[in-house]
Amino acid sequence: MERKTVIKYLLITFGITYICWWGVAALVAFTDLVYGDFLPAVIYIIGNFGPAIAAFFCIGGKRTFRSLGKFLFSYKRGGVWIFLLFMALVTLTVALSSLEWNPQMTAVNFFINLLASTFLYGGEEELGWRGILHPALSEKITFPLAALACGFLWALWHLPLWFIEGHPNQSMPFWIQGTLGIFLCFWLGIVYERSACLPLCMFFHGYVNVLLSSFVLKFNAILLCGIALTTVAAIALWLFDVKRKKTVRDRPSDGE
């Protein structure tokens, strides 16, 4: 993808989301409305879909049902195993570092929150961040740099949430949330590169969101080591792919 596609994606994404989320912050600050009321909730959800809307306008070629279907439902063989691996690594990291389940998260609440987080409050973002931005950056820079860039921009995209009075993100400092987001971009990035499957990325994103709410998050050595090892696993898989592609490229043809 050309540089103008990246710029176009970022302008649309930040434009839609910032107008909506800063608007919600203003409504809550200067009117009697509170976060969670109908009007702020509707505007907030529209802002959530900034990356998805931007992705629609940045898909290359003609936007036909066939091209949209290919964009949404492509899949590389074996990608599901990488998805399951990182699901397991993240689950073990959060569960073992906490060992304390949130009593308010029942099985029914978990399922409802997982659906909402996958399609309304997180997973839908993957249509843009992994569907457009990550592959565009990966054409010009290495996987680790692309993941870092996506993570930084993603953190900046979330910034207005810390100015919406009553938003759940305010329970965690912005720099901590941003740092966790950068690591998550490494994991989502390798899941996408190995699977090319946006629905898997959407589910993974939604699952991580709900997982962090299901356990009482505790910042300790187990959590930090788990995050580091999961990130190292993502980079190691990328290095393996680089080495494998180089081996195939350097292999002499049958005619030589």
More confident of the two residues 250 and 55:
55
Return the pLDDT at 244.
86
* Rounded alpha-carbon distances, angstroms, from residue 65 to 71, 132, 192, 200, 202: 10, 18, 22, 20, 20
pLDDT in tens, 9-35: 999 999 999 999 999 999 999 999 999
Return the pLDDT at 150.
97
Return the pLDDT at 65.
79
Is residue 233 very low, low, confident or very high in pLDDT (cuts 50, 70, 90)? very high
Structure tokens at 194: 């190995």
DSSP annotation of 118 reads: H
Give the span between the Cα atoms of 176 and 235, in whole angstroms.
22
Contact 10, 154 (CB under 8 A): no
Q: Is the Cα torsion angle 48, 53, 59, 63 positive or negative in sign?
A: positive
For residue 96, give the nearest of 214, 228, 226, 205 by alpha carbon.
226
72-87 burial, b if ≥16 CB within 10 A, otherwise e? eeeeeeebeebbebbb
Q: Which amino acid is at 249?
A: R
Contact 132, 58 (CB under 8 A): yes
Look over the chain and give the mean of its residue pLDDT values, rounded to a whole number: 93
DSSP lists the bridge partners of residue 215 as 101
DSSP lists the bridge partners of residue 65 as none
Give Cβ neighbours of residue 48 (< 8 Å, ≥ 6 apart). 17, 120, 121, 122, 124, 125
Contact 248, 123 (CB under 8 A): no
Give Cβ neighbours of residue 86 (< 8 Å, ≥ 6 apart). 187, 190, 191, 204, 230, 233, 234
Structure tokens at 96: 């073992």
For residue 22, give the nearest of 39, 8, 43 by alpha carbon.
43
pLDDT in tens, 134-149: 999 999 999 999 999 9
pLDDT in tens, 172-231: 999 999 999 999 999 999 999 999 999 999 999 999 999 999 999 999 999 999 999 999
Is residue 67 very low, low, confident or very high in pLDDT (cuts 50, 70, 90)? confident
Contact 181, 158 (CB under 8 A): yes
Return the pLDDT at 251.
66
More confident of the two residues 239 and 63:
239
Give Cβ neighbours of residue 161 (< 8 Å, ≥ 6 apart). 21, 167, 169, 170
pLDDT in tens, 28-59: 999 999 999 999 999 999 999 999 999 999 98
For residue 184, give the nearest of 149, 167, 208, 211 by alpha carbon.
208
> Which residue, chain included where needed, has tokens 């029914």?
108
